[in-house]
Copies of this chain bind each other. A is one copy, B any other.
Amino acid sequence: MNIQNVILGFLSEEPMSGYDIKRKMEVTVAHFFDASFGAIYPALRRMEKDGYVKKEVIQQEGKPNKNLYVITSKGQEEFQQYMESPINPTIMRSDFLIRLFFGKFTKEENILQWMENEKEDVKRDLESLLEVQSNSPNTDKYKKITLEYGLEYSKMKIKLLDTQIKFLREEYKEKF
């Protein structure tokens, strides 16, 4: 999977600009896929050159023009091929967990601070996912599963962090 495949997916649903795609990603797949403008715009140009999408310039008043991209039949074929290809393994890269893993090389205060921060971050993630959920009751069942995945994952993280923070605090107190 690369950005191109994901963009083709979004354009299979409706024509969008690079900006639209980025916004859409943020409220739908951000918890398991992320892309920057610097990756999206060049990808769209390439895809136009390769005939996967067609550009339509929309004149707007008071706002910059919009480059609306429409998927072509060649693009649809390409996307279908992607959907039939083998699934790539999930990539995860967690600085937080690396820090924890090497936790014995730093002060316990640092670690507790990291864990509190992480908990707050995850709580915000959870809230934003809950908001998305209540704002989109009519999404299809598969999208609902990916949302559910995000919700369960967040809840699991909060629970685990809560438990472990308490353990560490108990231990910390016992030093006196």
Shortest distance between the CB of A11 and any CB in chain B (Å): 11
Q: Does A111 contact B (CB under 8 A)?
A: yes
Q: Does A166 contact B (CB under 8 A)?
A: no
Q: Which of A28, A117, A152 neighbours the largest number of chain B CB atoms within 10 Å of its CB?
A: A152
**Of A45-53, A90-98, A127-135, which stretch is located at the interface?**
A90-98
Q: Does A33 contact B (CB under 8 A)?
A: yes
Contacts A6-B98, A80-B105, A83-B106 known; 18 new A-B pairs at CB < 8 A: A1-B93, A1-B95, A5-B98, A9-B101, A32-B97, A80-B106, A83-B105, A83-B110, A87-B114, A91-B94, A92-B92, A97-B149, A100-B142, A100-B146, A103-B141, A141-B168, A148-B160, A149-B157
Number of copies: 2
Instruction: Pick the contact of A156: B79, B101, B156 (CB < 8 A).
Output: B156
Q: Is the CB of B146 within 8 A of A164?
A: no
Q: What B residues does A74 contact at CB under 8 A?
A: none
Q: Is the CB of B140 within 8 A of A29?
A: no
Count the A residues whose beta carbon is within 8 Å of the partner chain — how many? Answer: 56
Instruction: Pick the contact of A79: B9, B34, B105, B148 (CB < 8 A).
Output: B105
